[in-house]
Amino acid sequence: MKLKIDPDFKIIIPSLSAEEFEQLEQNILSEKRCRDAILIWKGFIVDGHNRYEICQKHKIAFKVSKMNFASKKEALIWIADNQLGRRNLSNAVRIDIASRRAQLLFMDRPINIRKTVAEAAGVGERTVYKYMKLVGYADAKTLEKLRRDEIKIGTAFREMRAETRVVRQIDVGSKGYLGVVDRVLKVGGVYFGVGEAERSGRIEGVGKCLDRQLGLVDGCLGGNGDGALI
């Protein structure tokens, strides 16, 4: 049986590590069957992408079970809820999934995104806040470690804060009150201003504040009111 794959469905489901995929493959091969049915909706897989890939590769028969959803959005929400029911997911992955779920819910009605994500992911709102900041500022390697649960969100957040600073500078020119904000990047114990960081190629991981007016720094940088980043 040839099944269809919808990228919108598959992206919600966390990818298996190479070791996890190999273990699943060995289990199916040793039993010479796919124990769990592959769940489908209108011919599209909603659960069982890896099992389907393995069965197709080794020509192993599998069962399917049809799901009934009123719409694609309902199917997407079900997939998210089904994945959030798993116990072996890192908090980072749970927040990723819960965020996609919240975006779908927001299409129907206004919701408190952070609260909704926290409740679905089973974590505190502060943890959601920290992870979202990391998604915006951390490098790809750190994010992958978070999703693999090789580093905790709180630890990565503290390390990021130790490396990134926001400083205020007061222009005492003709007007004498214009506030200017600059961001500095710590590299090897040396702090570089944004301009110098750009010229030296050290700007990676450090975003720019599009509007450097002091009064807008908190909104632009997510500050806490005293000029400090996050």
**For the domain that residue 44 is a member of, what is the CATH number?**
3.90.1530
Tens digit of each residue's pLDDT (9 = 90 or more) over 139-157: 899 999 999 999 999 999 9
| Ordered alpha helix ranges (H), 122-228 | 125-137, 140-147, 153-163, 194-199, 217-221
Judgement on whether residues 51 and 107 belong to the same structural domain of the protein = no
Note whether 3 and 78 are same-domain residues. yes
One domain, residues 5 and 44: yes
- Whether residue 82 is predicted with pLDDT greater than 90 in this model: the reply is yes
The Cα 130–Cα 153 span in angstroms is 7
E strands in 42-137 = 44-47, 64-66
pLDDT of residue 93: 97
Domain presence at residue 35: yes
Q: Are residues 73 and 118 in the same domain?
A: no
What is the reported pLDDT for 116? 94
End position of a domain, from candidates 39, 56, 86: 86
Higher pLDDT: 228 or 124? It is 124
HSE (CB half, 13 Å, CA atoms) of 89?
Answer: 24
Residues 82 and 130 in one domain: no
The average confidence (pLDDT) of the chain is 77
Q: Is residue 228 part of a domain?
A: no
pLDDT at 227: 35
Under the banding of pLDDT at 50, 70 and 90, the label for residue 87 is: confident
pLDDT of residue 67: 97
Residue 128 sits in the same domain as residue 143: yes
CA distance 225 to 214: 11
* Domain-located, residue 230: no
Domain region containing 216: 163-221
Among candidate residues 86, 104, 137, the one where a domain is terminated = 86
Whether 82 and 93 share a structural domain: no
Token representation of residue 95: 């927040």
Q: Is 156 a member of any domain?
A: no
Whether 73 and 138 map to the same domain: the answer is no
Q: Are residues 119 and 184 in the same domain?
A: no
**Contact status, residue 45 vs residue 5, Cβ threshold 8 Å:** yes
Quick: pLDDT tens for 152-175.
999 999 888 776 544 333 333 333
**14 and 81 share a domain?**
yes
pLDDT > 70: percent of the chain: 70
Task: Note whether residue 71 is domain-resident.
Answer: yes
Give Cα separations from 84 to 99, 104, 107 (angstroms).
11, 15, 20
pLDDT at 151: 96
Higher-confidence position of 121 and 173:
121
Question: Based on the domain organization, do 105 and 82 belong to the same domain?
Answer: no
Residue 206's contacts (CB-CB under 8 Å, 6 or more residues apart) are: 137, 164, 183, 185, 194, 197
- Strand-strand pairing, 44-47 and 64-66: unpaired
- pLDDT band of 185, cuts 50, 70, 90: very low
Same domain (yes/no): 143, 217 = no
Tell me, what's the pLDDT at 163? 67
Task: With respect to residue 207, please indicate whether it lies within any of the assigned structural domains.
Answer: yes
pLDDT digits (tens, 9 = 90+) for 186-217: 433 333 344 444 444 443 433 343 333 333 33
Give the model's pLDDT for residue 83: 96
CA atoms within 13 A on the CB side of 221: 29
Helix (H, G, I), strand (E, B) or coil at 66: strand
User: What's the rounded mean pLDDT across residues 116-141?
Assistant: 93
Whether 79 is covered by a domain: the verdict is yes
Contact 23, 63 (CB under 8 A): no
pLDDT of residue 159: 85
Q: How many domains, in total, are found in the chain?
A: 3
pTM over 0.75: no
Angle 140-147/91-106 helices, nearest 10 degrees? Answer: 100
